[in-house]
Amino acid sequence: MDADFGDLPPTTLADLLGREQVMDIGIRPQWDCPRVAGPAYTVRCEPGDNLMLHAAIYRAEPGSVVVVESGDVDHALAGGNVCAVARRRGVAAFVVDGVIRDLGEVREAGFPVFSRGVIPIPGTKERIGSLGEPARVGGVLVHPGDIVVADEEGVVVTPAARRTEILEAARAKLAKEAAADLDTWERDHRARIEKALSERGFTG
């Protein structure tokens, strides 16, 4: 877990980074797992094949979020044993543009997985993809070392080069929000909405 980014909600990061750094709504937590945050270990699997993800669990550094491009929802990329070993080796989570299986075992192991769903059919282990190269997952181009933050609100990727800038901006934003009570928020919000309506000619 990245201790700095683990306290930052995806919603705050999305406000700062914009749509292009937010994965699409198909990449969802597959059980009620906690928020995860960590540097991306990027994987590209060939459609229908999971060899490179299975290789990645022995190569990713502890604390990494293994992020996988696969382009396939007909064959599972990982199951219960792979997730249990990944957890044992210190991998923080899987974020995969594909599907998994053995969800009950994954949940019991307490391993966070964000994916497009679950299917019982396994993939093959025959085709070489890549490790440690840019991967497109949920519509976001993820580079090795980018910071991935994921929870029930979604998955946001902070480019590694912007880590300090985004971390500082997010902390300032959260501090400002924490200092304002609901009455203050409502007053400011209503003024902003009424101004927007007026500028657009709405008089109702």
169 within 8 A of 16, measured Cβ to Cβ: yes
Q: Which two tokens stand for residue 122?
A: 């396994």
Q: Residue 24 — left, alpha, or beta (φ > 0 → left; ψ -120 to 50 → alpha)? A: beta
Q: DSSP string covering 86-113, please?
A: HHHTT--EEEEESBB--HHHHHHHT--E
DSSP state of 39: E
CA distances from 110 to 34, 84, 117, 123 (A): 9, 8, 17, 23
Return the C-alpha torsion angle 193, 196, 198, 203, nearest 10. -60
DSSP state of 136: E
Binding residues: 79-82, 101-102
Interhelix angle 163-179/10-17, rounded to 10 degrees, is 120
Query: How many CB atoms sit inside 10 A of residue 70's CB?
Result: 27
Binding residues for substrate: 79-82, 101
Binding residues for Mg(2+): 102
